[in-house]
Amino acid sequence: MSGELSPIDTAKFVAAKRAVQYVEDGMRVGLGTGSTAAWMVRCLGERVRSEGLKITGVPTSTRTAELARQVGIEVTTLDEAKWLDLTIDGTDEYDPDLCLIKGGGGAHLQEKIVATASDRMVVIADPTKGVDMLGAFPLPIEVIPFGLQATKGLVEELLAAMDVLDSKAVLREKGGVPFVTDEGNHIVDLHLKRIQDPRKLSMVLNQVPGVVENGLFIDICDAVVIGHGDGRVEVIDINEGTHEEERIEFADSANIFADI
């Protein structure tokens, strides 16, 4: 299978394959959204089919829910599950403290709700997602449609007083029209280049009327699984203070796309 994948896809695949090893029979698992999380959902579906693993998944978007059902994962809502054992998701950036920027896929509101309703959050990533300081990736904020321009203006005014390198706020579009989230809101991407104090920025952004949630995940992620194009994975556990490396063997694995 490795010959069919690019190095970046191999990295995502081995990270996903390692991350789903955290899942145990009977668990309630939050399922992230995005291209890397999709690998995880497929790998988890492979375990369900091959091992008879019994789990319940709580998706963070409609597209993740559709994929989970396709690969045989039982799906429920967070309200039905009430609390989760584990959430596995991707990230757009992570720093040495495992603070994250998420929301490139437009689902950070549901992703943050699900992650904070979990005993543990494990993030899967490729090496390009690691940064010394957050901010190179645009920070998404979800905003309600009513008074959108006023909200955007307040955010820009706020950013002028923050320790960031840039303060450009851009309404996200798809197909020439404003992007709409699963909750019926819009997203404004903040091009900041550098965020000196993510914790402070997260707090003040959520005080702006009209801002529903921002894409900074602070003190939420417990571990990051980093995949490499040669099949290696690194596991950084912030609680245990460990940084381990191993190799994932998958040449004889079943094709995880066979039933999709």
Q: What's the number of domains the chain is made of?
A: 2
Residues 90 and 143 in one domain: no
CB-count exposure of residue 1 (10 Å: 0-12, 13-18, 19+)? middle
Any binding-site annotation on 104? yes
256 domain residue, yes or no: no
Question: Domain boundary residue among 213, 237, 255?
Answer: 213
Residues 41 and 85 in one domain: yes
Residues 239 and 163 in one domain: no
Residues 109 and 152 in one domain: no
**How far is Cα 127 from Cα 12, in angstroms, rounded to an integer?**
10
Any binding-site annotation on 116? no
Structure tokens given for 4: 């069919």
**Phi-psi region at 72: left, alpha or beta (left = phi > 0; alpha = psi -120 to 50):** left
Residues 197 and 76 in one domain: no
pLDDT of residue 260: 40
Any binding-site annotation on 36? yes
Residues 52 and 161 in one domain: no
Residues 84 and 156 in one domain: no
Residue 176 maps to which CATH number? 3.30.70.260
Residues 47 and 84 in one domain: yes
Residues 33 and 160 in one domain: no
121 domain residue, yes or no: yes
254 domain residue, yes or no: no
259 domain residue, yes or no: no
Segments forming the whole domain that contains residue 242: 2-131+219-247
252 domain residue, yes or no: no
Residue 83 maps to which CATH number? 3.40.50.1360
Residues 41 and 104 in one domain: yes
pLDDT of residue 5: 83
Any binding-site annotation on 241? no
**How far is Cα 234 from Cα 14, in angstroms, rounded to an integer?**
10
Residues 156 and 239 in one domain: no
pTM of the predicted model as reported, rounded to 2 decimal places: 0.92
255 domain residue, yes or no: no
Instruction: Tell me if residue 173 is catalytic.
Output: no
Among residues 24, 51, 80, 111, which one is catalytic? 111
Q: Which amino acid is at 63?
A: R
Any binding-site annotation on 103? yes
240 domain residue, yes or no: yes
Residues 111 and 238 in one domain: yes
Any binding-site annotation on 105? yes
What is the CB-side half-sphere exposure of residue 190 using CA atoms within 13 A?
36
19 domain residue, yes or no: yes
Q: What is the pLDDT along the chain (260 residues), one digit of tens a residue?
A: 445 788 889 999 999 999 999 999 999 999 999 999 999 999 999 999 999 999 999 999 999 999 999 999 999 999 999 999 999 999 999 999 999 999 999 999 999 999 999 999 999 999 999 999 999 999 999 999 999 999 999 999 999 999 998 999 999 999 999 999 999 999 999 999 999 999 999 999 999 999 999 999 999 999 999 999 999 999 999 999 999 999 987 664 445 544 44
Any binding-site annotation on 253? no
Read out DSSP for the chain? -GGGS-HHHHHHHHHHHHHGGG--TT-EEEE--SHHHHHHHHHHHHHHHHH----EEEESSHHHHHHHHHTT-EE--HHHH-SBSEEEE--SEE-TT--EE--TTS-HHHHHHHHHTBS-EEEEE-GGGB-SSS-SSPEEEEE-STTHHHHHHHHHHHHTTSSBS--EEEE-EETTEE---TTS-EEEEEE-S-BS-HHHHHHHHTTSTTEEEESEE-S---EEEEE-TTSEEEEEETTTTEEEEEE---TTS--TTTT-
